[in-house]
C-alpha cells in the first residue's frame, strides 16, 4: 500500500492501519474531545492546556503521516531515538521535546536540536546542558522532574529537594525554566494517581514563589490525562491514545516497573 509515496510494510499496516493519516486524525479528535470535557468539568479554558504528542517507537516514516495529520511537535523518551528521527525528518522543521531521563554523556545530542526537556533532575545535568547549549548558541525550555509517587523506578527529584534545586537554576542562563514535570503512580486506581498530580501542583505553588517562570505543570499521559487536567495540568504528554498501543512494555522506559501496574 502506497500513501503519499511512502510504502507501508505489513507490520506498519497492522499497527497503524492502511491510512495512518485518517487514523491519527480520528485519534487526535477523540483526545481533543476528552481534553475539552476535562477542561469543562473544572471550568478551565481549553487554551490553557497544551497537548504534547509522544512519538516513541513510532518509526520516522510513519511520523510523516503524523505531520500530515497536523502534528507539529514530537516528544521522545530516549535521546538516541529522537536524534535519529530528527535527522531523518529535518526538513519538516517540527519541534522536538525530550521527556525521558538523560544520561550525562548524552547531553551533547540533546543540546543540538531539542526545544524542550521535561526530565531535568540534577545539578550536574543542568550544568552540563548549560555549557553545551552555550557552545551551540541555543536555549532550552526545561521542566524539573519530581518523583511524586515514591516509586524507585521513577526518576526525578525527591519532593524535599525541589526548592533548593530551584534556587540554583539562575546559574544556568541557557536553561529557560517552564515548570515541573511528573509521572504519576502507574495504576488504574485514580484514587492513587490523583494525589501525585495534586502534590506536583502544591510543589509548583511553592516553586513559583522562588522562580516565577516555573509556572507550568507537565503531567498526564494516555491513561490519566483527564485526571491530570482536572488537577491543573498545563501540558499533557500523550502517546498511545494518538498513535495506538506500543509494542514495548512500559518497563522498557521505567526499569524495575512491574509490567502490569
Ligand atoms: C511514553 C511517555 C508518555 C506517554 O505515554 P502514553 O502512555 O503513550 O501516553 C508520557 N511521558 C513520558 C515521560 C513518556 O515516556
Q: State the distance from the centre of ligand 1 to the C-alpha of 99, rounded, in angstroms.
A: 8
Condensed to tens digits (0 to 9), the pLDDT of residues 175-217 reads 999 999 999 999 999 999 999 999 999 999 999 999 999 999 9
Residue 34: name the closest of 217, 224, 247, 165 by CA. 224
Cα 131 from chain centroid?
23
Q: Is 156 in the pocket of ligand 1 (CB under 6 A)?
A: no
pTM above 0.85, yes or no: yes
Cα separation values, 90 from 37, 208, 249, Å: 35, 35, 28
Query: What are the Cα distances from residue 223, in Å, to 4, 66, 236?
Result: 32, 21, 11
Q: Is the CB of 242 under 6 A from ligand 1?
A: no
Q: Which atom of ligand 1 is nearest to the CA of 56?
A: 1
Q: Is the pLDDT of residue 8 over 50?
A: yes
Domain boundaries, the chain: 2-245
More confident residue, 7 or 164: 164
- The CATH number assigned to the domain with range 2-245 reads 3.20.20.10
With pLDDT > 90 as the criterion, what percentage of the chain qualifies?
90
* Spatial contact of 146 and 203, defined as CB atoms under 8 Å apart: yes
36's grid cell? 475539552
DSSP 8-class letter at 70:
T
Mean pLDDT of the residues in the chain = 95
Choose which residue among 97, 237, 238 to substitute to test ligand 1 binding: the one with the highest number of ligand atoms within 8 A of its C-beta: 237
Of the two residues 180 and 3, the one the predictor is more confident about is 180
- Per-residue pLDDT at 258: 55
Question: Would the CB of 240 count as within 6 Å of ligand 1?
Answer: yes
- pLDDT band at residue 5 under the 50/70/90 scheme: confident
Spell out the residues 6+ positions from residue 113 whose beta carbon is closer than 8 angstroms to its own: 83, 86, 96
The 3-class secondary structure across 18-67, one letter per residue, is CCHHHHHHHHHHHHHHHHHHHHHHCCCCHHHCEEEEECCCCCHHHHHHHH
CA–CA dist 54, 237 (Å, integer): 6
Q: Is 253 in the pocket of ligand 1 (CB under 6 A)?
A: yes
- 21 C-beta closer than 6 A to ligand 1: no
Please tell me if the CB atom of residue 239 comes closer than 6 angstroms to any atom of ligand 1. Answer: yes
Sign of CA dihedral 81, 83, 84, 87: positive
Residue 252 pLDDT class (50, 70, 90 cuts): confident
Residue nearest to atom 14 of ligand 1 (CA): 77
Confidence at 17, pLDDT banded by 50, 70, 90: very high
Residue range 100-123: average pLDDT? 98
**CA distances (Å), 203 to each of 81, 160, 169, 232, in order?**
31, 9, 16, 12
Q: Check: CB of residue 145 under 8 Å from CB of residue 155.
A: yes
Determine contact, residues 222/253, Cβ cutoff 8 Å.
Answer: no
**Cβ distance 220 to 233 under 8 Å?**
yes
2-3 and 6-7 strand pairing: antiparallel
Ligand 1 pocket check for 238: Cβ under 6 Å: yes
Residue 257: predicted pLDDT: 67
Amino acid at each position: 500500500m502506497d500513501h503519499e509515496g511512502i510504502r507501508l510494510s505489513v507490520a506498519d499496516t497492522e499497527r497503524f492501519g492502511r491510512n495512518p493519516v485518517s487514523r491519527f486524525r480520528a485519534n487526535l479528535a477523540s483526545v481533543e474531545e476528552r481534553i475539552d470535557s476535562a477542561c469543562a468539568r473544572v471550568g478551565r479554558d481549553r487554551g490553557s492546556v497544551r497537548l504534547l504528542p509522544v512519538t516513541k517507537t513510532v518509526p520516522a516514516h510513519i511520523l510523516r503521516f503524523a505531520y500530515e495529520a497536523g502534528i507539529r511537535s514530537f516528544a521522545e523518551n530516549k535521546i538516541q531515538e529522537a536524534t535519529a528521527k530528527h535527522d531523518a525528518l529535518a526538513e519538516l522543521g517540527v519541534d522536538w521535546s525530550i521527556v525521558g531521563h538523560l544520561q550525562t554523556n548524552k547531553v551533547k545530542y540533546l543540546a543540538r536540536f531539542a526545544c524542550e526537556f521535561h526530565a531535568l533532575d540534577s545539578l550536574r545535568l543542568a550544568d552540563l546542558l548549560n555549557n553545551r547549549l552555550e557552545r551551540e548558541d541555543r536555549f532550552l525550555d526545561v521542566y524539573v522532574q519530581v518523583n511524586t509517587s515514591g516509586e524507585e523506578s521513577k526518576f526525578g527529584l525527591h519532593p524535599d529537594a525541589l526548592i533548593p534545586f530551584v534556587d540554583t537554576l539562575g546559574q544556568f542562563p541557557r536553561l529557560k525554566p517552564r515548570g515541573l514535570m511528573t509521572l504519576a503512580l502507574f495504576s488504574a486506581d485514580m484514587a492513587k494517581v490523583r494525589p501525585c498530580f495534586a502534590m506536583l501542583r502544591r510543589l509548583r505553588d511553592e516553586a513559583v514563589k522562588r522562580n516565577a517562570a516555573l509556572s507550568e505543570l507537565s503531567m498526564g499521559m494516555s491513561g490519566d490525562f483527564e485526571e491530570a487536567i482536572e488537577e491543573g495540568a498545563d501540558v499533557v504528554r500523550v502517546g498511545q491514545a494518538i498513535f495506538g498501543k506500543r509494542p514495548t512494555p512500559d518497563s522498557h522506559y521505567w526499569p524495575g516497573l512491574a509490567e502490569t501496574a
